[in-house]
Chains A and B, each alone.
Chain A
Amino acid sequence: MTSALGSAPTGRDDRRARPTPARAHRFRWARAAGTGWLYVLPALVMYAVFVLRPLVLTLQYSLYDWNGIGVARWVGLDNYLTVFTDSDLLKIIGNAIVLIVFFSFIPVALGLLVASMVRRITTGAFGTVVRTILFLPQVIPLVAAGIAWSWLLSSNGLVNQALRAVGLGGVARAWLGDFDTALPAVGVIGAWVLLGLCTILLVTGMSKIDPALYEAARLDGAGPVREFLAVTLPSLRQEIGVCLTVTIIAALASFDIVYISTSGGPGLQTTVPGLEIYRLAFSQRQVGLASALAVVLMLLVLACVLPIQRLSRGEKP
């Protein structure tokens, strides 16, 4: 990190120049800086064209009533007004917030539990097997995961077969097609996908904790729970921060799993902003409203994620 930044034009020439304040040296530095810019130029161009430009365009589109082809009509903030007053769109944003519980809180909580259990077996062949199995859902494309889970959760799927086998046939239902269970069922798929990621991140974090801390805790008479609360949890602050950030973004910006497993149905029960943006833009051809919803979604993500970033950095300098 330091070396990379050292060669980049970060304006540290004053410090470097201090021992030999010769003009020649300064000139050389300036030339080096120019070379540095040249190196990052391709990346910057890509970033500008594929990240910044679409961002600016989305902002611009959100102020128009436009079908994507014909002439656009300036409507100012009307699209935003629609986003905040249309009961369907508000419900859709609400769905995404409910998904945070499944995509984020559950994987992080379970991840902590699993990580503390497998912490001691992270080395050797068995450790590799455990890590691989846990990480597998992260490797599988979300579309494939969505298809597999819609089979599992279908009315004659494995989940219902298992329920019937143990005499719980009364509970069996088309989990993804039922108004009461569709959203939680989608949440379970997300939790399954993200649990592995959280666990691996947390296990890695745990492996960096100084064993002396545990020893000290044990000498002070701490049990496993106390040990977890006093040593593990505080030491994992940053990892938990990363987990929450990644998973909350996954929840709010979810698309693949929902599109494949339920297509947003039944009714609007599992429709999420990502899906609605896509539908509005491409099927209903309301590019302006779709863009406004996209901007609101981006702000929502930032509003959720920035405080977490701040908290997880916390007291560290």
Chain B
Amino acid sequence: MTELLTKFPRRRTVLLASLLAVGMTATACSAPGEDRSSTQKSDAAVKTELGTDPITLDMYAETGFPLAKALADEFSKQHSNVKFNIREDQFTVIVENAPRVMASDNSPDIIRLPTMVDLVKDDLLKNLDPYFTAYGWDKFPASQLMQLRVGENTRGTGSLYGMGLGYSVTGVFYNKKLASQIGMTQPPTTVAEFEELLAKAKTGGVQPIMQFNKNTAGINFPHQALQNQFGDPTQVADWIFQKPGATFDTPAALKATQTIQKWAQAGYFTKDANALDYAGMVGEFQKGNGLFMFNGDWESANLDKSMPGNVGFFLFPTESPGGKHVAMSAPNTFGVSAKAKNPDAAAYFLNWVHTNAKAREISVTVGGSSPGGPSDLPVPSAAPNTVLAETLKASQQLGAENGAVDFTANATGGIFAAAITPEMQKLIAGQQTPEGYVKAVQAEYQKELSR
């Protein structure tokens, strides 16, 4: 037995070594990855007819947001030859999977997209410019599709690579009962008024802001809302679109960060914000445990159901009275995979979503967001006295004021997870200074752009 035990490991080592050698030679000859730059099919001819042949569109959509499925169902109802095969995942999972899923042989036709620059760089996304021309999407307000354009390593200009299934707007939801309790009769019109309300709530024993900051930094919502007001929002947009020379280290970002620090010290966020996730935040707000919640119109339909008549919405107020409203607003981006089997049908669907009356209605009632599309088409109305009607109105107001900016969290693929989230958690716990915060975010941004 002893002999066996001493003998066996040596033989096993020999065996392992030989297998390892085989593995090495089989795999380690060439560098990993493939050059896909020449695999993109020609975009020359596109069809704008759906035809009558049976088509199955593969869609990769986001769990918890029923709009994509509702639109797909309606589309199949109107076009009986088209079926949908929908796979759903959490958004963060899609962010992580998208490049590999799209590089695979089973790449979906239509996919909910995270940040697009990397995907375009890797030739995984279909250039939609030919469809833009063929369908006449130039009739859409140009600002609507701006965020979906990717140029030479920047966003905001260049070719079109995505379309929105609804165009979301963000702002502040408030609990009407708690608002009247602290004497708030109408939404604040300036940042100073907003801060007065926060102070009043605090002294009145009402939790001023219910905001999550676990997993991903929900406090980045109020942070960017302030940043948009404290400086030129174009600066913010340039930074998000990776324009050369753009920096996060600006007086506006610093002042916003100082304000967030002040709010945290004053107890305007919950003490457990760093342990509160998104679902927890919405749950607490619905239970009436907070006056304000920074969030987007995707939550409107849900809030109308859970706290009917008791919830209101306003765009984040301006710094000076009568100033221009600026809000984070982004399309619920969907793109067509470069390897899509039915790119023409996918584009047809995206065009239909923006132009078909029934589809536009579904965008509003199910998605809670503005349907976008040509400016001459009417926006379907929501039921009166709902927060959905309020967010829809806010969305139109923002469009009229041309105040939409993208989220800073979308600036690069890793900026949210690698810098904004951990640094924001440190900031509100007093472990990071405002100066340190803006420098840390900018450092990560530069690190990612240099790769």
Q: Which of A44, A57, A174 is close to B271, meaning CB atoms less than 8 Å apart?
A: A174
Say whether, besides A69-B122, A283-B414, A174 and B23 are in contact (CB < 8 Å): no
Task: List, in ascending order, chain A residues with CB within 8 A of B448's CB.
Answer: 284
Q: Which of B271, B272, B273, B417 is the one whose CB lies under 8 Å from A283?
A: B417
How near does chain B come to A106, taking the closest CB pair, in angstroms? 23
Contacts A265-B215, A284-B418 hold; do A60 and B28 have CB atoms under 8 A apart? Answer: yes
Q: Nearest chain-A residue to B121 (Cβ)?
A: A70
B residues within 8 A CB of A279?
A: 417-418
A-B CB contact pairs (8 Å), 17 listed: A11-B7, A11-B11, A53-B23, A56-B28, A69-B103, A70-B33, A72-B33, A154-B272, A155-B272, A175-B275, A177-B214, A178-B275, A179-B429, A265-B425, A266-B426, A282-B96, A317-B2
Set B24, B26, B97, B118: member contacting A67, Cβ < 8 A? B118
> Given the complex, which residues of A lie within 8 Å of B122, measured CB to CB?
67, 69-70
B413 at the interface (CB under 8 A from A): yes
| With A56-B27, A64-B32 as contacts: A267 and B422 at CB distance below 8 Å | yes
Q: List residues of B (276-292) whose CB comes within 8 Å of A's CBs.
A: 276
Does the CB pair B431–A267 fall under 8 Å?
A: yes
Q: For the complex, is B99 an interface residue (Cβ under 8 Å from A)?
A: yes
- For B431, list chain A residues within 8 Å (CB): 179, 266-267
Residue of B nearest to A6 (CB): B4
Partner of A72, one of B28, B31, B97, B432: B31
Report the bound CA distance from A30 to B317 in whole Å: 86
- For chain A residues 50-103, which have a beta carbon within 8 Å of chain B? 52-53, 55-57, 60-61, 64-74
Chain B residue at smallest Cβ distance from A278? B96
- Residues from chain A with Cβ under 8 Å of B214 in the complex: 177, 262-263, 265
Could you say which interface size class chain B belongs to? 35 or more
Whole-angstrom distance from the CB of B271 to the nearest CB of chain A?
7
- Contact between B124 and A177, CB atoms less than 8 A apart: no
A268 at the binding interface (Cβ < 8 Å): yes
**Smallest CB–CB gap between B422 and chain A, Å?**
5
Chain A proximity of B142: nearest CB distance (Å): 31
Q: Does A26 contact B (CB under 8 A)?
A: no
Partner of A266, one of B34, B274, B414: B274
Q: A173-B271, A179-B431, A283-B96 are in contact. List 18 more A-B contacts (CB 8 A).
A: A10-B8, A44-B19, A52-B16, A56-B23, A66-B31, A67-B99, A69-B99, A69-B103, A72-B33, A154-B272, A177-B214, A177-B273, A178-B429, A262-B275, A283-B95, A284-B417, A284-B418, A285-B413
Contact with B along A229-262 (1 / 0, CB 8 A): 0000000000000000000000000000000001
* Inter-subunit contact B215/A263 (CB<8 Å): yes
Partner among A2, A56, A271 whose Cβ is within 8 Å of the Cβ of B20: A56
Q: Output the least CB separation between B205 and chain A (Å).
A: 17
With A and B bound together, what is the CA distance between A154 and B271 in angstroms?
11
* B376 CB-CB contact with A under 8 Å: no
Which residues of chain B come closer than 8 Å to A57, judged between CB atoms?
27, 32
Q: Mark A198-227, 1 if CB is under 8 A from B, else 0.
A: 000000000000000000000000000000
Q: Within 8 Å CB of B414, what residues of A?
A: 283-285
Task: Decide yes or no whether B100 CB sits under 8 A from chain A.
Answer: yes
Query: Chain A residues near B8 (CB, 8 Å)?
Result: 5, 10
Contacts of B270 in A (CB 8 A): 155
Q: Of A65, A72, A177, which is within 8 A of B276 by CB?
A: A177
CA of A317 to CA of B429, assembled, Å: 56
Whether A176 sits at the interface, judged by CB under 8 Å, is: yes
Q: A48-B19, A177-B214 are in contact. Are A69 and B429 (CB under 8 A)?
A: no
Provide the residues of chain B in CB contact with A65, threshold 8 Å. Answer: 451
Interface string of B76-112 (1 = CB under 8 A from A): 0000000000000000100111011001000000000
Cβ of B22 within 8 Å of any chain A Cβ, yes or no, is yes
**What is the minimal beta-carbon distance from A200 to any residue of chain B, in angstroms?**
26
Residues on B with C-beta less than 8 A from A52 are: 16, 19-20, 23
Q: Is B47 an interface residue (CB 8 A)?
A: no
Q: A5-B4, A52-B19, A285-B99 are in contact. Are A71 and B34 (CB under 8 A)?
A: yes
A284–B34 Cα distance when bound, in Å, is: 19
Q: How far is the CA of A266 from the CA of B276 in the complex (A)?
A: 11
- B1 interfacial by beta-carbon distance below 8 Å: yes
Report whether A267 and B23 are in contact in the complex, using a CB–CB cutoff of 8 Å.
no
- Residues of A contacting B11 in the complex (Cβ-Cβ under 8 angstroms): 10-11
Q: A11-B7, A263-B215, A282-B96 are in contact. Are A155 and B32 (CB under 8 A)?
A: no
Q: Which residue of B lies closest to A268 (CB)?
A: B422
Contact A64 B20 (CB under 8 A): no
Q: How many Å from the CB of A71 to the closest CB on chain B?
A: 5
Q: Is B53 an interface residue (CB 8 A)?
A: no
Contact residues in A for B49 (Cβ distance below 8 Å): none
Chain B residue at minimum C-beta to C-beta distance from A1: B1
Contact check, B413 vs A284: say whether CB atoms are below 8 A apart: yes
Task: Give, as a whole number of angstroms, the nearest-CB distance from B255 to chain A.
Answer: 23
Chain B's nearest CB lies how many Å from the CB of A309? 12
* Chain A CB within 10 Å, residue with most, of B2, B36, B276, B422: B422
Closest A residue, CB atoms, query B426: A267
Cα(A296)–Cα(B360), bound, Å:
53
Residues in B neighbouring A67, C-beta threshold 8 A: 33, 99, 118, 122, 451
On chain B, the residues within 8 Å of A175 by CB distance are: 275
Q: Which residues of A have CB within 8 Å of B4?
A: 2, 5, 10
Report, nearest first, the 6 A-B pairs whose CB atoms are least far apart: A177-B275, A174-B272, A177-B274, A284-B414, A155-B272, A174-B275
